[in-house]
Each structure stands twice: as C-alpha cells, then as structure tokens.
Amino acid sequence: MNLRGRNKVDPSFNMSSMTDIVFLLLIFFMLTSTLVTVSAIDVLLPKAGGKTENSKSVAVSITGASQFYIDKTKVTASQLESALLQSVGADKKKTIVIRGDQNVAYKSVMKVIDIANKNKLKMILAVKGK
C-alpha cells in the first residue's frame, strides 16, 4: 500500500517576480524625482485682481532709492519705527500696507516687516493689479 500523496510541494521560491517589482519601483521613483522643481528658482510675484478698501490702514511706501514714506510723509530709516507706531496709535488696530517699489532692496521691505512683527501689527503687502 502506497501512503505518499500525489502532490508534492516544491519548497523553492522564485525571485524573478519580486525582482521585477523592485525594478519597476526604482524606475518610477527615478522618473518622479526628476519632475520635482525647486520653488526658490524663477520666482514670479503674483498680481492681485481685487481691491481692499480699509479706512483703518497706514501706508508705508518704499521708493527705489530706499526712502521711506508713511502716508506721504518722508521718514528716515532711523525714525521709521517711532513714526510708524505713532501713526498706528495705541490701540494697534490699524493695518500697515507695505508698498515697495519693484526695484527696492529686499532688506528695506524686511525692515518694515520686522518692525510690524516686533510690535504685533497687522500688515499687507501691496501688489499691482491685473
């Protein structure tokens, strides 16, 4: 009498299908990584379509020669913080509208932003309409 079963299980494992999957994943990640672009290169500033009318705002304009104006009054860089706080008032509910010339140095705009952040003031960067 024969007690052995007819079906024998082969204990070896075929790695060819696993290798195919790994290569397909490798190709996929190689292709998708080349499509990622760095956002710090070729930055184009946006244009805004709408207008915000706010009677409780103070305009800080910066010319191309890095001269500061608060509501059409020329202010030196050293007097900027005190004049801005005086224009805003004690309640600090007014919004600062920063209007920088397109050729102004970045550090001049950052000076106004730093003053606003330090004194916890609301600010808006003005852009050219469409």
- Give the pLDDT band of residue 40 (cuts 50, 70, 90): very low
Whole-angstrom distance, CA of residue 21 vs CA of residue 70? 64
Mean model confidence pLDDT for the chain: 77
Structure tokens at 82: 């005190």
Residue 43 lies in a domain: no
Residue 49 lies in a domain: no
Distances (CA, A) of 4 to 1, 12, 27, 28: 9, 20, 47, 48
69: containing domain: 57-125
Residue 94 lies in a domain: yes
Task: Report H helices in 39-79.
Answer: none
Q: What is the torsional sign of CA 11, 17, 22, 23?
A: positive
pTM (two decimals):
0.54
Total domains, the chain:
1
**Per-residue pLDDT tens digits for 8-17:** 777 777 788 8
Count of residues in the chain: 130
The CATH number of residue 74's host domain is: 3.30.420.270
